[in-house]
Amino acid sequence: LILGNNGGPATPECDGWLTYAIPVVAGLLYRDSVEVDELKYPIHVRALKITRGLGGAGRTRGAPGLEIVYGAREDPVTVVIAADGQHHPPRGVRGGQDGNAGRIEHIDGDGHAHPLPNVGQFELRPGEWLRGVDVGGGGYGSPLERDPAAVLDDVREGWETRERAGDVYGVVLVGKEETETLAVDHAGTTARRGQLRAAAADRAGSGERS
C-alpha cells in the first residue's frame, strides 16, 4: 500500500514537488485512496497530512513529506515495512538546508512511541498504531534570498510555519493566519535578514579563527 510520499528536492528554478517520492519515480507515482484501502484491508487511517515546516529551506525550498498514522481495525494485522532515509536526510546545496530525516514508530496501546528499523515485519494489534514520517527534500540556495512573498504564501498554504519564516527565512509577518490577515513587514524583514546574515558571518569567523 502506498499512502505516504517523500518530498522532492528544490532545483535552481523551482520548489520541490510534493509528489516526488524517489528519483526513479519523479512524480509519476499513483498513491492509494485512503477510503478504498480501508474498505479492502483491515486497517484504519487516523492521519495523513503534510509535515509542515520540515522541507529543506532555501531560495527555492524542498517539498515536505507526508505523515501517516494507521492501525488495525478489529483483528491483528501483520505489517511489513520498508522505510528509507532514517539515517541520512536529503542534503541541501549552495546554502540550502537539509530536509528532515524519515522516521517510523510503533505506538503501543499506552500511547508510547517505539522507533522501528528501516525494514521489518511485526504484528499490529487493535489499539496500536504505526506512524511514518517521510523525508522532506533539500533546499537550494540561501533561505535569506527567498522572495518574501513566496514565504508568505508558504505559510498561508501550510507548507511552512510562521516561526521558520522569521527564524530561517528572515521574513517578518504581521497579522493572523486565523483571520487571513497575514502580510509581510518589509522593513522588519530587511532588518531581520541583516541580523541573520551578521550572525552567520560571526559564526563563520569564529570557525576560521579556531
Q: What is the pLDDT of residues 135-147, one digit of tens each?
A: 999 999 999 999 9
Which regions in the chain score pLDDT beneath 70?
27, 208-210
Instruction: Answer yes or no: are the C-beta atoms of 51 and 133 closer than 8 Å.
Output: yes
Sheet with 103-107: list strands edge to edge: 43-50, 66-72, 129-133, 103-107, 113-115
Q: How far is CA 76 from CA 42, 73, 142, 185, in A?
A: 9, 8, 48, 53
Check the CA dihedral 40-44-48-54 and report its sign.
negative
Q: Of the candidates 15, 43, 20, which has an alpha carbon nearest to the alpha carbon of residue 31?
A: 20
Longest dimension (CA), the chain: 63
Q: Of the candidates 131, 135, 160, 138, which has an alpha carbon nearest to the alpha carbon of residue 5?
A: 135
Q: Which pLDDT score is estimated for 133?
A: 94
H or E element in which residue 81 lies: strand 77-82
Q: Which pLDDT score is estimated for 210?
A: 43
For 175, the grid coordinates are 497579522
Q: Which pLDDT score is estimated for 208?
A: 54
In eight-state DSSP terms, residue 127 is T
